[in-house]
Amino acid sequence: MKENLKIIAGALCMTILIGVPQTIFAADNTSAEEENSASEEFYTSSMELSLEEAYELFQKSDTYELVELQNESDSATIKSYSEQISTNNETIENAKEGTSSSSAKNSNNILKERRTYANALIESNKAARENAAYQEFVNQYYNLKSAEKNLEIQEKSLALKKEAMELAELKYEYGSVSKLDVLSSQISYKQAENSYQSALNAFEIAKMEFNDYLGLALDTELTLTSELEEVALPEISLESAIESALENRVEFVSAEYALAEAKRSFGSVSAYPSSSATYLNGKINYTKAQIDYDAVENDVIIDVTEKYTQMQEKYEAVQTDKMNLESAEESLSLAMSRYELGMSTLTEVQSAQLTLDNAESSYANDLLSYLMAVKNFELAAGAGTSTAAL
């Protein structure tokens, strides 16, 4: 714990110092060596990972081990059903016809049905569990990339505001603008410095969190090589996605088996008088199972449809953002040119800079949301992310 605190404190200190030019004069070689040693204490390794490579590494982590243990548990459950059936078979063979033999036979019938149910769901359960792990991993990966992208945006904004400040100072020297322009540009630049520093701090924290998520040392210098780039919309239609989901989603497959079991159970008491408690309880259970089955079917359809429409909405948002971004870049370029020629005010330049900042942030956020929406839709059209008890 103390070591982690030292790492975090060191990383933040180094982050705060970045971007502020400094010259450190060592009193002697010993001091310089101690400083280098202290720096190495915080950043001892580096790594470059694509999305796929990072996921392969994640699959070796303690977090993913839980997924594998749960998969093994499902297999163990099926094995336990078989073992109980074998034990009951021995009881049936050794016992005379009577209560114990009859009880064992009834138990075996139930166990065999549970085993059939578990065998039918085990692969879907495994896929859904792995889907949920992958979904969380992608979310973590993209969050770090988002923090990195925000840092790039703030760095670009800082450079633009520095350019505007230097231009204002130059124009002031020639007497073409007032001192107010200089002060305003300096304030704007200082605010951009603060925003850049906050983005840098957030990025460093996000890196440490992702390192921890992958099971790496917190001080690992990690570079994620897969960029946040727009991908094409999936070619699968909504109708085909719903059909696929109803074939593969764990919750729907589970509801199908529950309905079949309720129907079988009701059939076994159908000969009872329709007014008897046995008959009525069987009918009640079967009716409930039918209602649950219909509800799950509708839930799956609604879920896939919702994720499909969200994906479409985010895609359109990204297209709009790209046009806004292009317009904002052109507007800023024009405003800077006009300001250089004395045909516009600094206020117009700062307004154009703010519009560009907002356009870049909006594009980055919507692109991240779109990429996640695509992943969520693809998972929803498959086995999903929900598991069933076996």
What integer pLDDT is reported at residue 98 of this predicted model?
57
Q: How far is the C-alpha of 71 from the C-alpha of 77, rounded, in Å? A: 10
pLDDT 10s digits, 331-381: 999 999 999 998 989 999 999 999 999 999 999 999 999 999 999 999 999
**Reported confidence tier of residue 42, pLDDT bands at 50, 70, 90:** very low
pLDDT 10s digits, 117-132: 899 899 989 999 999 9
What integer pLDDT is reported at residue 333 of this predicted model?
94
What integer pLDDT is reported at residue 109 of this predicted model?
86
Whether 302 shows a pLDDT value over 50: the answer reads yes
**Range with the lowest mean pLDDT among 66-70, 86-90, 185-189, 374-378?**
86-90
Which residues share a beta bridge with 83?
none
Contacts of residue 36, Cβ cutoff 8 Å, sequence gap at least 6: none
pLDDT 10s digits, 48-72: 999 999 999 999 988 899 999 999 9
Q: What angle do CA 118, 124, 128 make, to 5 degrees?
A: 125
How does the average pLDDT of the chain come out, rounded?
86
What integer pLDDT is reported at residue 203 of this predicted model?
95
| Phi, psi of 20, deg, nearest 5 | -110, 100
Kindly report the pTM of this predicted structure. Answer: 0.76
**Reported confidence tier of residue 29, pLDDT bands at 50, 70, 90:** very low
**Reported confidence tier of residue 97, pLDDT bands at 50, 70, 90:** low
Closest CA to 112 of 93, 88, 85: 85
Which architecture characterizes domain 45-78+129-380 according to CATH?
Up-down Bundle (1.20)
